[in-house]
């Protein structure tokens, strides 16, 4: 391994030293870049968010492996922070998981969630979930471990057992998945502090990941718990898979309501509080880099022709060469 730390190694160090690590759920370029710009050290793709936004379907296992990997490749290369992905059930059996892990690792992802639901899976907070056996899930974990090339790549074994087998069954699964070598245990749809404490104890030295619905109006399963309390309980990572998708829908709805009102009244409405400036968008997507590249490599006569009598704004701000 090179002297430069891999993104996977950086995430492992965060899980060890910065508990609980907060990983917002991202689903597109805007959310990915904004999470990094706001100073978060890591992020996670939300499988539900990708399925909803890209193929306009609920999170019921329709979003396929290739679509998921392709989306994650673009997201991973667009940020410098470590990014994990939601790989659902691993898209099949243990042999499938072996290939799934390699696809995501090659795409620049530093870890994947593999869950113990039966296919087709359901969103973690939906009813009607079914589970595979502990033995089958441990084989998936073992296959994922064997497949990874960077040993810091994280196999995050997710269990949805609380809704099906209650906390007793969850504890049994957490112990088995930790023994099988999972790098992290993700206990979904946690019901409270007692569940968390028992899951953390069962996991032993394996880091535990839970999700929190920060900002979600209706929380059908997991209650909100303060980060300082989660730290006391021993949680290593907190993911927030639905926060940004719900915030985006809320923001777009408010803007569209203003537009509808303008259509009714025929008047203009200036609502900068509902939007960001064009400068903020271009900064987020690093238009300055493109401007610098154009200035460095374009012919002088082409630059002169294109921008001689035009405002060079955010496209090309300088014609100087390095």
**Which of the residues are catalytic?**
123
Which of 57, 65, 56, 125 shows the shortest CA–CA distance to 89? 65
Q: Count the Cβ atoms, other than its own, within 10 Å of residue 103.
A: 21
CB 137 within 8 A of CB 177: yes
Residues near 241 by beta carbon (within 8 Å), at least 6 away in sequence = 25, 44, 46, 47, 48, 49, 86, 211
The token pair at 289 is 């880099």
> According to DSSP H, which parts of 26-133 are helical?
29-37, 47-50, 65-77, 94-106
The token pair at 202 is 């069962």
The CA distance from 19 to 230, in Å, is: 9
CB 147 within 8 A of CB 191: no
CB 200 within 8 A of CB 229: no
Which of 255, 239, 235 shows the shortest CA–CA distance to 247? 255
């Amino acid at each position: 391994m090179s002297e430069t730390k891999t993104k996977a190694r950086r995430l492992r160090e965060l899980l060890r030293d910065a508990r609980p690590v907060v990983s917002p759920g991202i689903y597109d370029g805007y959310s990915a870049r904004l999470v990094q710009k706001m100073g978060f050290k890591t992020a996670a793709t939300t499988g539900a968010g990708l399925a909803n936004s890209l193929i306009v379907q609920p999170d019921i296992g329709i979003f396929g492996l290739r679509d998921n990997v392709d989306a994650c490749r673009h997201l991973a290369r667009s940020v410098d922070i470590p990014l994990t992905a939601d790989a659902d059930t691993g898209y099949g059996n243990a042999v499938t998981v072996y290939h799934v892990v390699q696809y995501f690792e090659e795409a620049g992802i530093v870890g994947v969630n593999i869950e113990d639901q039966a296919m087709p899976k359901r969103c973690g907070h939906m009813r009607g979930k079914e589970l595979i056996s502990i033995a089958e899930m441990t084989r998936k974990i073992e296959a994922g471990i064997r497949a990874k090339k960077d040993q810091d790549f994280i196999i995050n074994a997710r269990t949805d057992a609380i809704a099906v087998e209650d906390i007793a069954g969850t504890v049994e699964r957490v112990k088995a998945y930790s023994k099988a070598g999972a790098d992290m245990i993700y206990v979904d749809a946690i019901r409270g502090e007692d569940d968390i404490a028992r899951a953390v104890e069962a996991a032993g030295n394996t880091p535990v990941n839970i999700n929190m619905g920060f900002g979600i109006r209706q929380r059908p399963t997991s209650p909100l718990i303060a980060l300082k309390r989660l730290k006391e309980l021993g949680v290593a990572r907190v993911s927030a898979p639905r926060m940004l998708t719900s915030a985006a829908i809320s923001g777009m709805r408010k803007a569209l309501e203003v537009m509808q009102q303008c259509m009714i009244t025929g008047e203009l409405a200036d609502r900068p509080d509902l939007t960001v400036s064009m400068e903020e968008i271009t900064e987020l997507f690093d238009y300055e880099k493109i401007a610098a590249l154009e200035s460095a490599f374009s012919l002088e006569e082409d630059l002169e022709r294109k921008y001689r009598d035009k405002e060079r704004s955010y496209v090309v701000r300088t014609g100087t060469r390095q």
